[in-house]
Structure formats: structure tokens, C-alpha cells
Structure 1
Amino acid sequence: MTATTPRALDHPAREEIRLEAVLHALSDPVRLQIVRELADAENALSCSYFDLPVTKSTTTHHFRVLRESGVIQQDYQGTAKMNGLRRADLDALFPGLLDRLLYAATAQQTRLGATTG
């Protein structure tokens, strides 16, 4: 058994990621916004990078749901908690799902943005 540091975060192994948990995590608009921004980023992003319309404690909850479902990887770099999309794992388990969801989210934003002017 290996010892974990207090700053190590639990993540499901690839084989433990379940479709139901991924879909639940992505069903919330705030979490979907986080995933969309991570998908567009070239590198991991700190939690403080995101400008979300919720409190800090709610933001923490959203990141935890995404991490525990296997959608994101979180690691500490110094004092910053860095976030990256687990695209390789998600694409291997559910081919095309992430790309289609991101496409649908962009199309929805365009459609709703066009009707709210």
C-alpha cells in the first residue's frame, strides 16, 4: 500500500468511470461551462481561472463532482489546484461522446444567444 500525501486527490481509475456519472456531471450548466473551457485550453487551468456565477463553496462542489465522475483530473501545483480534462480516458471509454456533447452545447448557446437579443 502506498502512502498518499494530504494534498493528493482521489480520482477514479479509467475502468471505474461510468457513463451515468459522466452524464450527471455534465448535466449542470456550470459544470458544462467548466468542461467547455477546459476543452478549449491547451494546458491545465487553475480553479481561480474560471469566472463562474456561483459562490466559492459551490464552485468547489462543481469541481469535486467533475473529478469524482472522472471527467477532470485535478492536481496541486504549489498552492494552485490545476484542472485538466480527462479526454483520453473519456474518448477511450465513450468514443465521440465528449465531442458531440461539446458540439451540442455550442449549438445550444448559439441558438439561445440568437433568440435573447
Structure 2
Amino acid sequence: MTTVTSPRLLAHPARDEIRLEDVLHALADPMRLRVVRELAAGDTDLSCSDVELPVTKSTITHHFRVLRENGVIRQTYQGTAKMNGLRRDDLDALFPGLLDRVLEAAQNQERRLAGL
């Protein structure tokens, strides 16, 4: 795990430390999957407040931390904002096609459930 040397630097696992079971755990939660879908849909990093979730601020912080600690997103500070980006390159290199299939399945499920 990357060493944190300042409160403004956040620990992220190195690519070779990311494990499939940890990524799947992070993606298994509907709120975290929603965050990942929003990050994947955009072409820029988003702040935590850019992603609207129907949960408390502390719960949102928890979800972003789980995604970061399991190697799904990278968080950096830009001024006072904590910016979030999908670690697509790392995930695609380690688990080719996984992220695309998960995102596709989530979209298919959303369509299926909307038809109920």
C-alpha cells in the first residue's frame, strides 16, 4: 500500500496489489456501483459532491473510501475538492473486460427493472 506522507495525500494500492475479490466486493454495493457508473460515463474526474447518492455524507465518504482502498478509483485533492477518477487502465490491465462487463450488466439490469 502506498505510504501516506501528508494528510493531503491518500493511500492507494499499487496496481500489483489490487485483488479481484476486493474489486468485486467494492462493486457489489449498489451505491458504489452507481459511483463507478457515473465515473465511467464521464471523461473527467468528479468531486464527491458531483455524485448524488441517497445516503448521508458520512456514508458517501465510506463508499468512496472502499472504492479507493480496493483499487477501483483514484482520489486526489485539487484545492479543497477531493477528485475521483476510475482506475480503468489498472483494472483493464489486471482483469481484461471485467469493468466493461460489469458496467454493461448494471445497465441491462437498470433497463430490466425499469420495465417492471
TM (norm. structure 2) is 0.96
Runs of 4+ that moved beyond 6 A: none
- Residue 4 of structure 2 contacts residue 11 of structure 2 at CA under 8 Å; is this kept in 1? no
Number of equivalent positions: 114
Unpaired stretches in structure 2, ≥5 consecutive residues: none
Could you tell me how far 1:3 is from its partner in structure 2? 7.4
1:17-40 residue CA offsets vs partner (Å, 9 max, x unmatched): 000000000000000000000000
1:92 corresponds to: 93
Unpaired stretches in structure 1, ≥5 consecutive residues: none
Distance 2:109 2:79 in 1: 37
Distance 2:92 2:5 in 1: 28
Q: How much identity, in percent, do the aligned residues show?
A: 72
1:22-60 residue CA offsets vs partner (Å, 9 max, x unmatched): 000000000000000000010000001011010000000
Q: How does 1:5-84 map to 2 (within 5 A)?
A: 5-84=6-85
TM (norm. structure 1) is 0.95
Taking only aligned residues, the RMSD between alpha carbons, in angstroms, comes to 1.1
Structure ID, larger Rg: 1
Structure 1 residues 41 and 21: alpha-carbon distance in aligned structure 2, compared to 1, 3 A threshold: same
